[in-house]
Structure 1
C-alpha cells in the first residue's frame, strides 16, 4: 500500500506542479507586441490587478491598464483619430475603453484603463486598436498579446 501511495504522490506532483508554475498571480503584466512587424519601435504593456473602489470600498474588481508607445498616427490606418484598449475573453465577453495621448508633439504615449471587470482573467487577449471617436468604429489591432491565467 505504501509504494502505491508514494507512486500516486509522485505522479500527481509531476502533473499538478507544472500547471501551478504556469499560473500568473495578480498583478499580471504582459508586453504588447506589434501586429505589423515593420513597426519596430512600437510596443505596449498591459497591467491587470485587483482594485477596491468607492467609499466605503465595494467588492474587489479587476483593473486593466494599457500603455502604448511609438504608435503610428491613427489616421495612417484610414478614418481613425484615436486609440482604444480592447480586451476579450473569446466567446465570453469583451471590454473596450478610450486611450488618451500624452502632450508630446511627435509620437505621444497613449494610455487608458478600465476598472469594472468581474470576470476571471483566463485566456484574455489584450489589444491596442485604432478607433474613430465620432463614429465609435473600432479598427484593426496595432498591438496585442494574450494572458493565459491571471488570478
Structure 2
C-alpha cells in the first residue's frame, strides 16, 4: 500500500508539473525584456507569496515587482509610468502602479498588490507601460510566467 501511494504521488508530480509549481509558494521569477536588443540592461523580478492581512481573514496572494534599468516611459511614446500587470488568460487580470525611486539616472520601479484570491495557476507577470492621465495600459516591456518560479 505504501508503495502504491508513493507511485501515485510521483506520477502526479511528473504528469501535472504546473499544478505542483502553482502550489509552491513563495516563489520568485526573473522578468526578462520582451525586446532584448532595445533593453539590454533592463531586468526585473517578481515575488509571489501568501499574506495574512489584518483583521485576520483567509490568506491572499501578494505579487511584488521590482524592475531596473528601464528607460523613461516617455521614451516609448505617450506614457508616463510603468505598471505591474498579472493575469490568468481568459479569466482575470490585476494591474498596479510601479513607483520610481528617487535616483536621477534610471530609477528602480517597484510596487505590489496583495489582495489576490485566485489560484496561482497559469499566471503571467509583466511590467507594462502606462499613461496615468488616460489610464491607458501600454505594451509589456518585461515578462515571465509562473512556470519559471523557483
TM range (shorter): 0.7 to 0.9
Q: Distance in 1 between matches of 2:100 and 2:77?
A: 19
State the TM-score, normalized to the length of structure 2. Answer: 0.87
> Any runs of at least 4 consecutive aligned residues in structure 1 with deviations exceeding 3 A, and if so which?
8-14, 19-22
State the TM-score, normalized to the length of structure 1. Answer: 0.86
Q: Distance in 1 between matches of 2:118 and 2:51?
A: 13
In the TM superposition, what are the counterparts of 1:114-129 in structure 2 within 5 Å?
114-129=113-128
Tell me if the contact between 2:29 and 2:148 (Cα under 8 Å) persists in the aligned partners.
Answer: no
> Which has the higher Rg, Structure 1 or Structure 2?
1
- SS of the aligned residue for 1:15 comes to helix
Unmatched 5+ stretches in structure 1: 1-5
| Paired residues, number | 145
Tell me if the contact between 1:121 and 1:149 (Cα under 8 Å) persists in the aligned partners.
Answer: no
More strand by share: 1
Corresponding position of 1:95: 94
- SS of the aligned residue for 1:26 comes to coil
- SS of the aligned residue for 2:64 comes to strand
